[in-house]
């Protein structure tokens, strides 16, 4: 009986830890959420790829690997009115809704979501989109 109780407790702790990894907590007020852009083996990814922020938060994309990466948004997969907000917030754009190409390890690109409409924002890395380097930001009201 004691073994069964210990096994059940271990499973509960494991499930709680797994849930914590799957849904990253919202960053502390004023602290940007950091998203790593990296290659692991033959996989290119954002980590975390899917997360939730509040209107006004800042997302900081960090090129961990040094391979060319950028942040681009799907025009048809962002809320109405979001393109203007993002284009103002995205400095040194290559094109509308496309951040600059980052080629150096630890290079950082910050995007403020001040004034951004609530909703989901699908994003991707232009050179690695076909390889699955995509994600989704959910923006909630403050």
Catalytic residue among 37, 90, 102, 125: 125
Active-site residue, 125 included? yes
Residue 9, both tokens: 């407790």
Active-site residue, 37 included? no
Catalytic residue among 45, 90, 102, 128: 128
Active-site residue, 26 included? no
Phi and psi torsions of 19, nearest 5°: -60, -40
Catalytic residue among 37, 45, 69, 102: 69
Active-site residue, 69 included? yes
Spatial distance between the Cα atoms of 58 and 135, rounded to a whole number of angstroms: 16
Instruction: Please work out, in degrees rounded to the nearest 5, the angle formed at the alpha carbon of residue 133 by the alpha carbons of 127 and 135.
Output: 130
**Tokens 């950028």 belong to which residue?**
70
Catalytic residue among 37, 45, 102, 133: 133
The catalytic residue positions are 69, 125, 128, 133
């Amino acid at each position: 009986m004691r073994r069964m109780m210990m096994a059940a407790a271990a499973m509960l702790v494991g499930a709680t830890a797994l849930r914590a990894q799957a849904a990253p907590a919202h960053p502390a007020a004023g602290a940007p959420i950091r998203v790593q852009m990296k290659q692991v083996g033959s996989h290119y990814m954002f980590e975390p790829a899917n997360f939730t922020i509040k209107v006004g938060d800042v997302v900081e994309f960090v090129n961990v690997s040094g391979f060319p990466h950028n942040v681009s948004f799907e025009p048809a997969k962002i809320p109405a009115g979001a393109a203007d907000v993002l284009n103002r917030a995205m400095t040194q754009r290559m094109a509308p809704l496309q951040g600059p190409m980052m080629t150096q390890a630890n290079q950082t690109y910050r995007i403020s979501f001040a004034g951004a409409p609530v909703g989901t924002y699908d994003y991707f890395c232009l050179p690695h989109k076909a390889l699955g380097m995509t994600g989704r930001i959910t923006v909630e009201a403050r």
